[in-house]
A and B are shown apart, each in its own frame.
Chain A
Amino acid sequence: RKEVEQDPGPFNVPEGATVAFNCTYSNSASQSFFWYRQDCRKEPKLLMSVYSSGNEDGRFTAQLNRASQYISLLIRDSKLSDSATYLCVVNGPDTGNQFYFGTGTSLTVIP
């Protein structure tokens, strides 16, 4: 079983739409959670960390559900510039301090 699983999509949404991605993780002892963004043919970059209480950064909201072992990313009022692949990342001492990346969810925002 993979450490981190994501729906690969693709998600094709119109500008202004709200879109949500989910990601599940297998190790209940995981402690740190992140969403990274990767543009085509570029390197991954941190979008936001995910905190237990949930956190928001502008149009982006991240949530953590430890009981069900999933994290989510909500994007409101989608912009064309949001088109990218979104990677879910999990790590913690019990995962050998490794960062486990999901395979990514592809988002295309359509004019």
Chain B
Amino acid sequence: DAGVIQSPRHEVTEMGQEVTLRCKPISGHDYLFWYRQTMMRGLELLIYFNNNVPIDDSGMPEDRFSAKMPNASFSTLKIQPSEPRDSAVYFCASSLGVKGPYEQYFGPGTRLTVT
């Protein structure tokens, strides 16, 4: 298996632009997570899906952020409009479950810079 795939790996954009991050989870994993990592705040859970359905989006910072999972093999995280404080590394992860010792497999991340 290729693991969790994320694209793009790097994104540089100007404030106010729309940014779309993409993720392909490991086949067969029912859970998909979006995280944001910064030096100041560490790794923060933004939203997670179970069987393509959003379960908890309480970590989404504000309405500028939205996430979708149209099918089991694809998810997007969109920021519109982007702001400099959104600069961070965004990770997607997938797992077989959450109740128990299930490992989360992370993608390589998207390093977002908003100028």
Query: Chain A: residues with CB nearer than 8 A to chain B?
Result: 31-32, 34, 42-46, 49, 51, 87, 91-93, 96-104
Given A49-B101, A93-B99, A101-B42: A43 and B56 interface contact (C-beta under 8 Å): no
A97–B33 Cα gap in the complex (Å)?
A: 12
Complex contacts, B103 vs chain A, CB 8 Å: 34, 46, 49
A73 to chain B, nearest CB (A): 16
Q: Size range of the interface on B?
A: 20 to 34
Query: Chain B: residues with CB nearer than 8 A to chain A?
Result: 33, 35, 41-43, 45, 48, 55-56, 91, 98-104, 106-109
B54 to chain A, nearest CB (A): 13
Complex contacts, A100 vs chain B, CB 8 Å: 45
Tell me the nearest residue of chain A to B31, going by C-beta.
A97
Tell me the nearest residue of chain A to B56, going by C-beta.
A96
A36–B42 Cα gap in the complex (Å)?
A: 13
